[in-house]
Amino acid sequence: MDEAELLGAIENSAATQYLNKSHSRTFSLNVFKINAQQLIMFAQHIGDPMFGVDLMSEKNAVAGTQAHREINRLAHNFLCAAMTLVEHTRNFMREHYVGTEVYVLYGNEIRSLFAEDPLSQFVQNLRNYMVHKGLPNSQMFLEMTNNPNATKDNQEFVSGVRYPVATLTKWDKWSAAAKSYMAASGAHIDILKLAVEYNKKTVEFQAWLDEALKSHHQQDLSDLSVLQMQLAQVQSKNTAGHKPQSIERQSKLPEFGFSSTEMQRLQLLCDEILSELSTQVVGPHPGERFPSDRPLAGHLTKDDLVGPVAGWLNDADGNQVFVFHETSSGLKGFSESTYEKMEQLLDTILEAEWPSNTLSRDFLQKVFLDWCRSSDLDSKPGNFCGTLSRQAERAVKTLSAWVPIANLETQAPFEFGLGTISPISADMINARHAELLSSQTGNEEEISLMIDRIRKEMQGWAAVTMTIRAEPEFASERISAISNDTVALLNFFSPAASNPRLQCPVAPLGSEYVPMSHSLVFGEGHFSYSQQMLQQELVHWRISEADVHNLRNNGLSYVSNLVSGESISEFDAAVRGSVLLFANGIVESKWENRLVYTLASMEKLLLKHNMEYAEFNVAERMSRLISLTYGEVSQIRTQVLKAYRLRNQRNGMLFSHSEKISYFNFVSLAHEVIRHAFANATVFQSQEKFIDSIEKRSFSDDV
């Protein structure tokens, strides 16, 4: 078959029709899932005594009443969505699968799980009650119960929303199975328990049905795979003889050269921009609004400036202009629209491989502005591409860099990411001192002062060391970015990562954050100045050779491969983003800020996309990933939801004791989740498949 015939065969295949039908079925399932998630989340919120007590207090009567209304709205939507899914699934199977083996299996499963099941029949009957009779009577409650594990007097508060069974039984249309559910429930039916149990049962059944349908269409899917392979082969043959002519590139050009096509395109842009260079009439300087009392550190004059000055000013009409060329006729420059054209030119240059890997944007702009100045003074402007190539060839060098890391010591160098974490030893500084003294005679005093400052600020700390071939400013930007990511990813293994009470001040030197307070106190003959650290529990991290060996066995080697962010799987990219967010929280001195970063870290790792209901899914997936038993799932889920509520309700106030415990628990759990992700790195290439595997986890005590 040719390409058109294969495309038609694929479109009309049984497998494609099955996949399209399955896709349409997901819409009804989504309606149920989201309504169930919203009801469960809100019921859990009310069921947390810390919030339930407030909602039922007299001062919050209005909020409490609205919460009661809202839980009824969500329950109504949940029940209606449940029956919508039942009907849609039934109609789907009748329309497409009557008379097949999978339809028989479906019928057996329905009879086994739902037909006489008290829970399922109660949900169906309650929906009929709510739609045809009215909203059932419900109660928001707050009770004191005995709990041997409680911290005070074996007593604890329990809150929530429930249906009184006595009022429900007055309705005469309950089925026998629904009546048995009410009888077994005692005096009340808890809305949260009802929603959780029915949601679990329904989602598991729908997952079973998906697998059953997939098995039923196994041969169809296999046939589709064959057609897709044949299409790929035909398309490959069709394109083999029509390869686009490659633009002359590396093998035919010098290291810093452009192809003729690139040169022509760039020169047209340069000539257009140059034609718009014009004299700018600059408006008056606004002057100082009031004199400053700040002491002068120095006085800068025009004679102190090196090279031409470039910058933004206002013209006589108040429009912004970019001036960079001082001539006898006045200042010349670009309007905002012409400046944008220059930005587009720089973007175009950076589309080529060698400039994007060796030249900074500032370097390109400087070369272009110098070319504009010289071209404005010359009646025959030179070729810009040639100018840029010559300037780049002179500027690009092989450079070594050491980026000091504040508050980190290492016993010996070890490789991590794109560089090495090395100690800045006294011997290393002495060696650099000797080299400078031997190469620059006459500057001994200045060199010694500089080395003394380096020794004071850097000796003993570790550094990110690496080698790069580039123009110096690009090298500085690139090394700075790599160093920031390197240190952040490394910080995941610091003592503060797993201990939420600690702050990690490990960062590239100069960007470390150690919060201080300063105060002047004076009056009645007294004067004092004091300063103190606001965060007392700081961790100065020291890494021995033995530590490195242990860390490599606990994820350090894996994380080392994530530093560049290139040539990694989609799952690895999600882990990388999660670790970086988590690490941003480690260096925060305020716990509420660390909580925000840690929640964002979990969302980066555990959400398939930003349209998912974050609180419900993060709580569910965290708990299922790290729990050993189903009993632990509920406990961990509760801790995660408390963290979300804590984030949403902070107003700059200090954490209470119970809030601190919730914060400590959540951050520790999040750290464990990321470690579980490390362990799965060789198993999954896709974040979606990792999440799917979490949702399919089963537990021996899951009933």
- Same domain membership, residue 436 and residue 381: no
Q: Kindly list the strands in the beta sheet with 278-279, ordered across the sheet, starting from the edge strand earlier in the chain.
A: 278-279, 330-335, 320-327, 311-314
Yes or no: say if 433 and 446 are a contact pair by the CB < 8 Å rule: no
- How many Cβ atoms are within 10 Å of 275's Cβ, its own excluded? 9
pLDDT score of 297: 66
DSSP type of residue 291: -
pLDDT score of 298: 63
- Same domain membership, residue 425 and residue 371: no
State which of 226, 242, 272 marks the end of a domain: 226
Q: Using 50, 70 and 90 to split pLDDT, how confident is the model at 249?
A: very low
State which of 446, 479, 512 marks the end of a domain: 479
Q: Using 50, 70 and 90 to split pLDDT, how confident is the model at 533?
A: low
Q: Does residue 509 belong to any structural domain of this protein?
A: no
3-state secondary structure of 583: helix
- Same domain membership, residue 323 and residue 209: no
pLDDT score of 473: 94
Q: Which whole-number Å values give the CA distances from 332 to 44, 303, 370, 427, in the listed order? A: 66, 21, 13, 52
pLDDT tops 60 at residue 20: yes
pLDDT score of 145: 74
State mean pLDDT over 306-317. Answer: 82
State mean pLDDT over 436-450. Answer: 86
pLDDT score of 63: 87
Q: How far apart are CA 643 and CA 429, in angstroms?
A: 47
Q: Does residue 517 belong to any structural domain of this protein?
A: no
pLDDT score of 220: 93
Yes or no: say if 392 and 506 are a contact pair by the CB < 8 Å rule: no
pLDDT score of 302: 57
Q: How far apart are CA 84 and CA 95, in angstroms?
A: 16
Higher pLDDT, 294 or 268: 268
State mean pLDDT over 605-609. Answer: 95
- Same domain membership, residue 264 and residue 222: no
- Same domain membership, residue 160 and residue 272: no
Total number of domains in the chain: 4
pLDDT tops 60 at residue 253: no
Q: How far apart are CA 442 and CA 446, in angstroms?
A: 9
Q: Does residue 55 belong to any structural domain of this protein?
A: yes
pLDDT tops 90 at residue 423: yes
Q: Does residue 581 belong to any structural domain of this protein?
A: yes
Q: Which long-range contacts (CB under 8 A, 24 or more apart) does 412-416 make?
A: 412/545, 412/548, 413/465, 414/543, 414/545, 414/548, 415/560, 416/486, 416/490, 416/556, 416/560, 416/563
Yes or no: say if 147 and 156 are a contact pair by the CB < 8 Å rule: yes
Q: Does residue 641 belong to any structural domain of this protein?
A: yes
Choice among 176-180, 190-194, 501-505, 559-563 with the minimum mean pLDDT: 501-505
Q: Does residue 589 belong to any structural domain of this protein?
A: yes
pLDDT tops 60 at residue 251: no
- Same domain membership, residue 590 and residue 466: no
- Same domain membership, residue 583 and residue 605: yes
DSSP codes, 12-34:
TSHHHHHHHHHHHHHHHHHHHHH
pTM (predicted TM-score): 0.78
- Same domain membership, residue 370 and residue 429: no
Domain, as residue range, for 456: 398-479
pLDDT tops 90 at residue 47: no
How much is the CA Rg of the chain, to the nearest whole Å?
34
Choice among 31-40, 50-59, 110-119, 490-499 with the minimum mean pLDDT: 50-59
Region of 638 please: left (phi>0), alpha (psi -120 to 50) or beta: alpha
Q: What are 229's two structure tokens? A: 């392979």
State mean pLDDT over 533-557. Answer: 87
Q: Does residue 297 belong to any structural domain of this protein?
A: no
pLDDT tops 80 at residue 406: yes
pLDDT score of 378: 74
- Same domain membership, residue 162 and residue 108: yes
Q: Using 50, 70 and 90 to split pLDDT, how confident is the model at 211?
A: very high
State mean pLDDT over 127-141. Answer: 92
Q: Does residue 252 belong to any structural domain of this protein?
A: no
pLDDT tops 70 at residue 625: yes
pLDDT tops 50 at residue 673: yes
- Same domain membership, residue 215 and residue 110: yes
Residue among 458, 466, 497 nearest 482 (CA): 466
Higher pLDDT, 516 or 424: 424
- How many Cβ atoms are within 10 Å of 566's Cβ, its own excluded? 8
pLDDT tops 80 at residue 213: yes
- Same domain membership, residue 268 and residue 189: no
Choice among 81-95, 457-471, 520-534, 543-557 with the minimum mean pLDDT: 520-534
pLDDT tops 80 at residue 196: yes
- Any alpha helices (H) in 147-190, and if so which ranges? 165-168, 176-185
State which of 367, 395, 423 marks the end of a domain: 395
- Same domain membership, residue 426 and residue 343: no
Q: Using 50, 70 and 90 to split pLDDT, how confident is the model at 243?
A: very low
Q: Using 50, 70 and 90 to split pLDDT, how confident is the model at 647?
A: confident
Q: What is the overall mean pLDDT for the chain? A: 88
